[in-house]
Amino acid sequence: MLDLSLIWAAIIALGVFIYVVLDGFDLGIGLLFPLFPDKQDRDVMMNTAAPVWDGNETWLVLGGACLLAAFPVVYSAVLSALYLPLILMLVGLIFRGVAFEIRAKAKRTQPLWDLAFMGGSALATFCQGMALGAYIQGIKVEHREFAGSGMDWLTPFSLFTGLGLLVTYAMLGAGWLLIKTEGRLQARLYQLLRPLSMLFLFVVALVSLVTPMVDPAIASRWFTTPNIFWLLPFPLGVALCGVGIWRALQRQQENRPYLLTLLMVALGYIGFLISIWPHLIPPSITLWEAAAPASSQRFALYGAVIILPVILAYTALGYWVFRGKVRASDSGYH
């Protein structure tokens, strides 16, 4: 008998990761907008993501829908616990999503849409980061529903993870743009990436140190023998990636900083999964306790197993069609 709950937890974890990988860079573009005031640069930056942002954001919808299907308790308890940050995140996504469609078609009001794009990206990212922090710190659940108070999510730690995610997405955005641009714009990105990557490495180090401190259970998972030996590759891998990014920037290797940042995000993400395992609502509800009826999980799983590979294939096709550098003179964008 297959462990349906485990499979679903894995699918959702993968979906969230793909979301971070894909939407991370396009939110990051919005975060970098204030540093690139030139209209033509902004056009290029936005055009690198214009054909794909819809699909990127769909992974977030998938996460919500699959959570509702496979673990309705988690969906209902976590979403009501993180009420305000999630509503504000949606507000941010509204602003930037509409800006994607309208900015290129507007002229007189373009500065306002630039503002909507920047503000929306920043708000959405910061709220996602805060939601993540609040989730790690734990959510109070009694009788299968949220039993905490409305502002439980607001802590120094969640504010810090909010800022941390801003830096991470900015890093992903800059790395992505390095691949997709050339000339003067790319040179400025190299310049920007030096201090940004230092800041990023600092944030990663700090998050890794602070997270075990906010939760003794996480500390004991990481810092007891023999776990500590098994888990040693994670901090080592992160450190190697950091060195790799620095060297790639010095040698002007345009693809590497983005890929290495992704690798670091992946390591951090797996570290996060290890920290909360086997809970779906830290610190009390495990993924088996939160499971929907097997008939629901099985029915939805048929669809996911058959369709997800197809989705991944045509998502890849989309990226392939729009591969290569984006130039200001390009036709076809808006």
19-78 residues near another protein, rule: CB under 8 A? 50-52, 54-55, 57-58, 60-62, 64-70, 72-73, 75-78
Residues in region 254-293 near another protein by CB under 8 A = 292-293
| Binding residues for another protein, total number by CB under 8 A | 74
CB of 271 to another protein, least distance (A): 26
> Taking contact as CB under 8 A, which single stretch among the options 36-44, 202-210, 255-263, 326-334 is the one that binds another protein?
326-334
Contact (CB, 8 A) for 82 and 135: yes
Choosing from 7, 13, 21, 98, the residue that interacts with another protein (CB under 8 A) is 98
x/- map, 147-166, another protein, by CB under 8 A = x--x----------------
Radius of gyration from C-alpha coordinates of the chain: 20
Alpha helices in 181-255 (DSSP H): 183-214, 216-223, 227-231, 233-250
CB of 11 to another protein, least distance (A): 10
Closest CB to another protein among 64 and 212? 64
107-112: list long-range contacts, CB under 8 Å, 24+ apart. Answer: 110/39
CA distance 262 to 266: 6
Does 325 interact with another protein (rule: CB under 8 A)?
no
- Strands 145-146 and 141-142 come out as antiparallel
Choosing from 2, 6, 14, 87, the residue that interacts with another protein (CB under 8 A) is 87
Closest CB to another protein among 58 and 186? 58
Residues in region 111-130 near another protein by CB under 8 A = 116
CA distance 316 to 155: 39
Among 204, 227, 167, CA closest to 31: 167
Angle between helices 183-214 and 216-223 (to 10 degrees): 100
